[in-house]
Structure 1
Amino acid sequence: MSCLGARPTSRAEGTEAVARKEPGKVERIAADLRAKIESGHYPPGAKLPSSAELQAAEGIAFQTTREVYRVLERDGLVVTHMGKGSFVTPFLGKITRDGTGRYQPAAREAGGARGAFEAELNRLGLVYKPTPTDVSRERPPREVAAALGLHHSAKAISRRRVMRAGRDEADQAEGFPVQIATSWFPIDVAGGSRIEDQDTGPGGSKSRLAELGHAQRRVRETIEVRFPSAVEAEALGIPEDRQVYELTHHASTEEGRVVEVAVHVMPASIWRFSYTWELDAD
Structure 2
Amino acid sequence: MPVNPSRSQYRQAADLIRAAIEGGDYPRGEALPREDNLAEKLGVDRSTINRALRILAAEGLVQPIRAKGTIVNAIPRIRRNAVARYAREARERSGARGPFETEIRGLGMTPKTVVEVSRSAPPSNVAGILGLSADDVSTVKRSRRMFADETPVQLADSYIPLDLAAGTAIESENSGTGGIISRLAEIGHAQVRITEEIDVRPPTPEEATFLGLSEDHRVYAITHVGWTAEDRAVEVCLHVMPTHLWTLEYEFPADTPA
TM normalised by structure 2 equals 0.87
Which amino acid in the other structure matches residue 51 of structure 2?
E
CA positional deviation for 1:112: 1.1
Moved more, 101-110 or 71-80: 71-80
Partner of residue 142, structure 1:
124
- Structure 1 270/255 Cα, relative in aligned 2: closer, same or farther at 3 Å? same
- Contact 1:79–1:239 (Cα < 8 Å) also in 2: no
CA positional deviation for 1:182: 0.9
CA positional deviation for 1:50: 4.0
Partner of residue 172, structure 2:
197
- In the alignment, is residue 157 of structure 1 matched against residue 140 of structure 2? yes
SS in 1 for 2:86: coil
Provide, for residues 73-119 of structure 1, a one-character-per-residue CA deviation record: whole Å limited to 9, x for no partner.
Answer: 23331122356532111123x32211122111111111111111111
- Mapped to 2, the partners of 1:230 and 1:57 lie a distance apart of 37
- Structure 1 62/86 Cα, relative in aligned 2: closer, same or farther at 3 Å? same
SS in 2 for 1:132: strand
- Mapped to 2, the partners of 1:240 and 1:22 lie a distance apart of 31
Q: 1:211 aligns with which of 158, 180, 186?
A: 186
Q: Please tell me whether Structure 1 or Structure 2 has the larger radius of gyration of its CA atoms.
A: 1
Identity rate of aligned residues, in percent? Answer: 41
SS in 2 for 1:154: coil
Partner of residue 172, structure 1:
none
- In the alignment, is residue 106 of structure 1 matched against residue 89 of structure 2? yes
SS in 2 for 1:111: helix
- Contact 2:185–2:191 (Cα < 8 Å) also in 1: yes
Runs (5+) with no aligned partner, structure 1: 1-20, 167-174
Partner of residue 52, structure 2:
68
- Mapped to 2, the partners of 1:62 and 1:97 lie a distance apart of 38
- Mapped to 2, the partners of 1:157 and 1:253 lie a distance apart of 18
- Contact 1:253–1:259 (Cα < 8 Å) also in 2: yes
Q: 1:232 aligns with which of 195, 199, 207?
A: 207
- In the alignment, is residue 266 of structure 1 matched against residue 241 of structure 2? yes
TM normalised by structure 1 equals 0.81
Give the total of aligned pairs.
251
CA positional deviation for 1:254: 1.1
How do 1:40-79 residues align onto structure 2 when only pairs under 5 Å count? 40-51=24-35, 54=38, 63-79=47-63
- Structure 1 213/229 Cα, relative in aligned 2: closer, same or farther at 3 Å? same
- Structure 1 61/234 Cα, relative in aligned 2: closer, same or farther at 3 Å? farther
Runs (5+) with no aligned partner, structure 2: none
- In the alignment, is residue 257 of structure 1 matched against residue 241 of structure 2? no
CA positional deviation for 1:197: 1.2
* Two-structure CA RMSD over aligned residues (Å): 2.3
- Structure 1 47/176 Cα, relative in aligned 2: closer, same or farther at 3 Å? same
Q: 1:89 aligns with which of 56, 60, 73?
A: 73
- Contact 1:228–1:242 (Cα < 8 Å) also in 2: yes
CA positional deviation for 1:60: 5.5
- In the alignment, is residue 243 of structure 1 matched against residue 218 of structure 2? yes
